[in-house]
Amino acid sequence: MAPSFSDDYTHFAVKKGHGVKGISELGLKALPKQYIQPLEERIDMTKVLDKESIPVIDMSNLDDPNVADQIANAAEKWGFFQIVNHGVPIEVLEDVKEATRSFFQLPADEKIKFSQENSPTKHVRFGTSFIPKAEKALEWKDYLSLFYVSDEESSTFWPAACKNEAIEFMKKSEFVIKWLLQALMQKLNAENMDSKAPLLMGSKRINLNYYPICPNPELTVGVGRHSDVSTLTFLLQDNIGGLYVRKMETDAWIHVPPISGSIVINVGDALQIMSNGKYKSVEHRVAANGSNNRVSVPIFVNPRPEDIIGPLPEVLRNGEKAMYKQVLYSDYVKHFFRKGHDGKETIDFAKI
Ligand code: OGA
Ligand code: NI
């Protein structure tokens, strides 16, 4: 039954498992009011620089020392870049986007089985918006969030519509993720990757994001301003576009154009903290779209929940003053999920 009152839309989307995809399919003329964002949170196209773009880095020749330089430079100056010729097969990318569409195509009563209340495991969560309980205005996005523990656990608990494709995407991305982190560590003179790997990439979460067609897209957002809490985020987007990144130290934004076969990489808060601010975890957001459904698939490469993160000893060896304290990573993540999206504020939790 289609809802008739404004409050019923929240119930329909959040509680009944229809998500914003369900609202979208009602074909409403106007956006329900709980999705209307305050003016300052909407995307102001006059603040978008259309002549600038984040770096695109070709990874076809990993023996070229230039590649590592470009990566470290981009992580310092932009916090965001795209990689091409990265070695993850195109079929793997196409398959996981298609699996994302298949999962969201399921009826609401199938998807709701994976909601926070119903999911058989806390490692699998289907939801809509970001934190509906904590948000002043809701966001126009549905998601499935999958925390990886083991192949066995994933194949038991992850939804059948997408589990093989999601696992395959994670597996095939492993090499390039490690290579990127190694390059970034080398430039910090912290090259002992064997000992660093558990801290930098000891846990992974893959999200399948679905941004359905939105009535009045200019009044809301797909995802509000935030920075990621990851070490590094490895994001696959389809050909629709809509991801905007803040140009560092300005109030201007830059669109991340879809490039077929590319992966978008961004530094997360954990790496900003570990590098003592050298690598930047930059604010970003996603626009809602009035004419196309969009999917994206980020892999959040994270420390383990039980890790203590702080500026790496190698970075402070030269006498540099620590800007961040040591924090338990799970506390940091909890802090992020206690509040709505609020730009770069999460990192204050770790500031000295
Ligand atoms: C995120 C995010 C961007 C996108 O999930 O943290 O920023 O393009 N996603 O979906
Ligand atoms: Ni993000």
Q: Per residue in 212-264, pLDDT tens? A: 999 999 999 999 999 999 999 999 999 999 999 999 999 999 999 999 999 99
Judged by phi (left if over 0) then psi (alpha if -120 to 50, else beta), residue 241 lies in: left
* Structural domains of the chain sorted by starting position, each given as residue range(s) with its CATH number in brackets: 28-350 (2.60.120.330)
Q: In terms of pTM, does the model score above 0.75?
A: yes
- How far is C-alpha 168 from the chain's CA centre? 18
Burial of 193 (0-12, 13-18, 19+ CB in 10 A): middle
Minimum-distance ligand 1 atom for the alpha carbon of 237: 8
CB 55 within 8 A of CB 239: no
- Dist. CA 247 → ligand 1 center (Å): 17
Q: How far apart are the C-alpha atoms of 63 and 108, rounded to whole Å?
A: 49
Average pLDDT over residues 2-11: 74
- Dist. CA 25 → ligand 1 center (Å): 23
Q: How far apart are the C-alpha atoms of 160 and 27, rounded to whole Å?
A: 29
Q: Per residue in 113-166, pLDDT tens? A: 999 999 999 999 999 998 888 888 999 999 999 999 999 999 999 999 999 999
- Dist. CA 191 → ligand 1 center (Å): 29
pLDDT at residue number 135: 86
pLDDT bracket for residue 273 (50, 70, 90): very high
Atom 6 (ligand 1) nearest CA: 228
- Dist. CA 255 → ligand 2 center (Å): 14
Q: Per residue in 78-105, pLDDT tens? A: 999 999 999 999 999 999 999 999 999 9
Q: How far apart are the C-alpha atoms of 136 and 122, rounded to whole Å?
A: 25
The bound ligand whose nearest atom lies closest to the alpha carbon of 296 is: 1
What residue type is 329 in one-letter code?
Answer: Y
Dihedral, CA of residue 132, residue 136, residue 137 and residue 141, to nearest 10? -30
Pocket of ligand 1 (CB under 6 A): 207, 209, 223, 228, 235, 237, 243, 284, 286, 296, 298
Q: Which residues lie closer than 8 Å to 186 by C-beta, 6 or more apart?
A: 68, 72
